[in-house]
Structure 1
Amino acid sequence: MDIKIYQGNKLKLPQSDINVVIDVIRAFTFAHIAFLRNAKKIILSSNKSDCFVIRKKYKNLVLAGEEQGIRIKGFDYGNSPASIINENFQDKILVQKTTNGVNAALNSLNADKVITTGLTNVSNTIKYIKNHLRSYNENAKVNIIASHPSSDEDYAVAEYIKSALMNENKINAMQVVQRILKSDAAQKFLDTSKEQFDYKDLEICTNEINGEEFVMLVNISANVPFIERINLYDS
Structure 2
Amino acid sequence: MEVQILQLLDGAKEAKGLTVIIDVFRAFSTACYALAEGAAKIIPVGNIENAYQLKEQHPDYILMGERNEMKPHGFDFGNSPSQLIGSELKGKTLVHTTSSGTQGIVAAGHVPEIITGSFVNAGAIISYIKNRKPEMVSLVCMGYACEFPTDEDTLCAEYIRNELKGLSNNFPQMVEIIRKGSGERFFEPEKQEWAPKEDFDLCLDLNRFDFVLRAEKEGEFSFLRKIDVAGGILR
Q: Same fold (TM over 0.5)?
A: yes
Partner of 1:88: 88
Q: What secondary structure does 1:13 align onto?
A: helix
Partner of 1:157: 156
Deviation of the 1:102 alpha carbon: 0.8
**Are 2:119 and 1:119 aligned?**
yes
Work out the CA distance in 2 between the residues paired with 1:142 and 1:220: 20
Deviation of the 1:203 alpha carbon: 1.3
Deviation of the 1:87 alpha carbon: 1.0
CA 1:234/1:108 → structure 2, altered by over 3 Å: closer, same or farther? same
Structure with the higher helix share, 1 or 2? 2
**Are 2:125 and 1:130 aligned?**
no
Q: Say how many residue pairs are matched.
A: 227
Deviation of the 1:17 alpha carbon: 2.1
Q: Please, what TM-score do these two structures have when normalized by structure 2?
A: 0.90
Work out the CA distance in 2 between the residues paired with 1:12 and 1:31: 19
Deviation of the 1:49 alpha carbon: 1.5
Work out the CA distance in 1 between the residues paired with 2:158 and 2:12: 20
Match of 1:142 among 133, 137, 146: 137
The AA in structure 1 aligned to 2:64 is A
Deviation of the 1:187 alpha carbon: 1.8
Q: Matched residues, percent identical?
A: 28
- What's the CA shift string for 1:185-210, capped at 9, x where partnerless? x1211112223221011110111253
The AA in structure 1 aligned to 2:101 is G
The AA in structure 1 aligned to 2:196 is D
Work out the CA distance in 2 between the residues paired with 1:68 and 1:30: 16
Q: What secondary structure does 1:99 align onto?
A: coil
The AA in structure 1 aligned to 2:33 is I
Partner of 2:203: 205
The AA in structure 2 aligned to 1:117 is G
CA contact (8 A) 1:180 1:206 kept: no
Work out the CA distance in 1 between the residues paired with 2:86 and 2:150: 29
The AA in structure 2 aligned to 1:103 is Q
Partner of 2:43: 43
Deviation of the 1:29 alpha carbon: 0.7
Deviation of the 1:233 alpha carbon: 1.6
Partner of 2:220: 223
Partner of 2:229: 232
**Are 2:186 and 1:189 aligned?**
yes
RMSD: 1.7
Q: Which runs of 5+ in 1 are unaligned?
A: none
